């Protein structure tokens, strides 16, 4: 297997396994905090989740590009070189378990996207509650608008 392609693929696979999962990044609002504090906490967590998702997307794309580059390279080889190249790839795949890691990363990415949606809704809800509180307690406007 071509060394640059193998290095890129190996690096991407390593990063995929280091990305945090949705379970680790899931955050529940704290009843002891104000609505605004919860909104800020959820928005901050949402940014972390989105960053992890982008990281996964980037390195999954690197894996796809590496696989495509490897396929293109195999086409250019002679039959003997192609057999040796396929044997190299098979050994690398056996060691790295590429398909298993890509499947796990796809699942992780889907879970992160689901969590991002959930955090977005929760953050908006708490932000809305925080913004509506002062209006409810504001009594000086009620005399003008019965």
DSSP states of 31-94: TTS-HHHHHHHHHHHHHHHHHHHHHHHHHHHHHHHHHHHHHHHHHHS-HHHHHHHHHHHHHHHH
- Per the CB < 8 A criterion, the answer to whether 59 and 9 are in contact is no
Predicted pLDDT at 143:
45
Q: How many other C-beta atoms lie within 10 A of the C-beta of residue 1?
A: 21
C-alpha span between 122 and 27 (Å, rounded)? 10
Please give the model's pTM, rounded to 2 decimal places: 0.78
Position 136 pLDDT exceeds 60:
no
pLDDT digit string, tens, across residues 94-122: 998 989 999 999 999 999 999 999 999 99
pLDDT digit string, tens, across residues 20-59: 889 898 888 889 999 999 999 999 999 999 999 999 999 9
- Per the CB < 8 A criterion, the answer to whether 116 and 49 are in contact is yes
Mean pLDDT of 62-68: 91
Predicted pLDDT at 17:
85
Q: Please give the distance of CA 109 from its chain centroid, rounded to a whole number.
A: 5
């Amino acid at each position: 297997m071509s060394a640059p392609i193998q290095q890129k693929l190996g690096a991407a696979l390593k990063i995929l396994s280091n990305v945090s999962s949705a379970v680790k990044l899931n955050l529940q609002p704290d009843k002891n905090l104000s609505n605004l504090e919860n909104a800020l906490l959820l928005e901050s967590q949402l940014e972390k989740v989105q960053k992890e998702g982008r990281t996964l997307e980037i390195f999954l794309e690197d894996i796809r590009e590496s696989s495509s580059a490897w396929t293109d390279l195999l086409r250019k080889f002679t039959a003997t070189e192609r057999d040796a190249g396929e044997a190299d790839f098979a050994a690398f795949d056996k060691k790295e378990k590429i398909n298993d890691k890509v499947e796990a990363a796809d699942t992780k990415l889907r879970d992160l996207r689901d969590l991002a949606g959930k955090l977005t809704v929760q953050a908006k809800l708490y932000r809305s509650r925080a913004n509506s509180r002062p209006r409810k307690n504001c009594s000086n406007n009620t005399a003008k608008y019965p």
